[in-house]
Structure 1
């Protein structure tokens, strides 16, 4: 009953403001204000206000909203933990196996550090002690070697 009285008062005040606006010859604005003023009375007459007031003043509804909020917080917390590094057991096992296996690229050649005149004739050696052939990978860096030689490096 209180909600219906409040809605009726709001509608009456809105219609009064619309009348004053129309008196000032602002008919478009007055029509818009009158439309907004009629909404609360329309809600009362359709029963929406009774339904909303039943929800607002019912404690079990608020407990339900609280439980929904708690469920949402739990979902967000689990997503945050997953993003920060909550890896699965399989991922951790694979990471441990990879760390035990040693080098990432075992067939990679070690760099040669030579200085002086013999630097141009030196070729890098892989771990087996064999020199790579010229056609296989030595030509890939020939332009870089030429630039470095030009600058005396």
Structure 2
């Protein structure tokens, strides 16, 4: 019963502030106040206050265990180590370090391995001009130049 009274009092107060903001012709601010004012009544009517109370209680219990339980600290250290290893391997992978497979002798009857060749795009001949991505418009440039534009 007390929860209902507090919820609807907060909603009424927010609607009053929204009305004052609208009276002063600040309609955007009034709409925001009205939207926020509807939240307490909506939470009460949907029954989410007990859920919020349960979540708050569980969070407080977890925080208490975090401070006093060494197992929780061990778990945090393991999560941190995991994150560090993932970030480090990602960083090394971007630097070009690759996993090199150890050399093994070829099995009898197996085809010899060919060395991997890196695919490089063919180089364009240097024309003295920089490539600004407008090479396709050279014919249009020529037409405009002929017309004196």
- Interval of TM-score (by shorter of Structure 1 and Structure 2): 0.3 to 0.5
TM-score, normalization by structure 2? 0.42
Task: Report the structure number with the largest CA radius of gyration.
Answer: 1
TM-score scaled by length of structure 1: 0.41
